[in-house]
Amino acid sequence: MGVDYSTLHDPNAEYTMRDLSAETMNVTRERGGGRDVEITDVQTTMVDGNFPWTLVRIYTDAGIVGTGEAYWGAGAPELIERMKPFLQGENPLDIDRLTEHLTQKMSGEGSIGGVTVTAISGIEIALHDLAGKILDLPAYQLMGGKYRDEVRVYCDCHTEEEADPIACAEEAERVVEDLGYDALKFDLDVPSGHEKDRANRHLREPEIAHKVSIVEAVTEAVGHRADVAFDCHWTFSGGSAKRLAAALEEYDVWWLEDPVPPENHDVQRDVTQSTSTPIAAGENVYRKHGQRRLIEEQAVDIIAPDMPKVGGMRETAKIADKADMYYMPVAMHNVSSPVATMASAHVGAAIPNSLAVEYHSYELGWWEDLVEEDVIEDGYIEVPEEPGLGVTLDMDAVSEHMIDGEELFD
pLDDT band at 29 (very low <50, low <70, confident <90, very high): confident
Q: Tell me, what's the pLDDT at 3?
A: 55
Q: Give yes or no for a contact between 259 and 236, defined as CB atoms under 8 angstroms apart.
A: yes
314-335 CB burial, b ≥16 within 10 A, e <16: bbbbbbbebbeeeebbbbbbbb
Across 335-364, average pLDDT: 98
Residue 279 has pLDDT above 70, yes or no: yes
Burial class of residue 12 (count of CB atoms within 10 Å of its CB; 0-12, 13-18, 19+): exposed
At a CB cut-off of 8 Å and minimum separation 6, what does 266 contact? none
pLDDT band at 18 (very low <50, low <70, confident <90, very high): confident
pLDDT band at 14 (very low <50, low <70, confident <90, very high): very low
Residue 10 has pLDDT above 70, yes or no: no
Q: Tell me, what's the pLDDT at 328?
A: 98
Across 113-127, average pLDDT: 96
Residue 12 has pLDDT above 70, yes or no: no
Euclidean distance between CA atoms 344 and 134, whole angstroms:
20
Q: What are phi and psi of 377, to 5 degrees?
A: -130, 120
Q: Give yes or no for a contact between 133 and 66, defined as CB atoms under 8 angstroms apart.
A: yes
pLDDT per position as a tens digit, 219-272: 999 999 999 999 999 999 999 999 999 999 999 999 999 999 999 999 999 999
DSSP three-state, residue 57: strand
What DSSP string runs through 283-297?
TTS-HHHHHHHHHHT
CA dihedral of residues 65, 55, 90, 128 (deg, nearest 10): -70
**Which one is predicted more confidently, 346 or 74?**
346
pLDDT per position as a tens digit, 32-64: 899 999 999 999 999 999 999 999 999 999 999
Residue 16 has pLDDT above 50, yes or no: no
Residue 94 has pLDDT above 90, yes or no: yes
Q: Give all domains of the chain, ordered by start, each with its CATH number.
A: 5-137 (3.30.390.10), 146-385 (3.20.20.120)
Rounded to the nearest integer, the mean pLDDT of the chain is 94
Q: Give yes or no for a contact between 112 and 286, defined as CB atoms under 8 angstroms apart.
A: yes
pLDDT band at 79 (very low <50, low <70, confident <90, very high): very high
At a CB cut-off of 8 Å and minimum separation 6, what does 333 contact? 282, 283, 304, 305, 306, 309, 358
Q: Tell me, what's the pLDDT at 73?
A: 86
Residue 2 has pLDDT above 80, yes or no: no
Q: Cα–Cα distances in Å, from 284 out to 88, 114, 156, 348, 362? A: 31, 9, 17, 19, 23
Edge-to-edge order in the sheet of strand 39-48: 39-48, 52-60, 65-70
Q: Tell me, what's the pLDDT at 1?
A: 42
Q: pTM of the entire structure?
A: 0.94
Q: Give yes or no for a contact between 231 and 189, defined as CB atoms under 8 angstroms apart.
A: yes
pLDDT per position as a tens digit, 301-311: 999 999 999 99
Angle at 40 between CA 55 and CA 336, to 5 degrees: 10
Across 283-287, average pLDDT: 95
Residue 5 has pLDDT above 60, yes or no: no
- The two beta strands, 65-70 and 52-60, are antiparallel
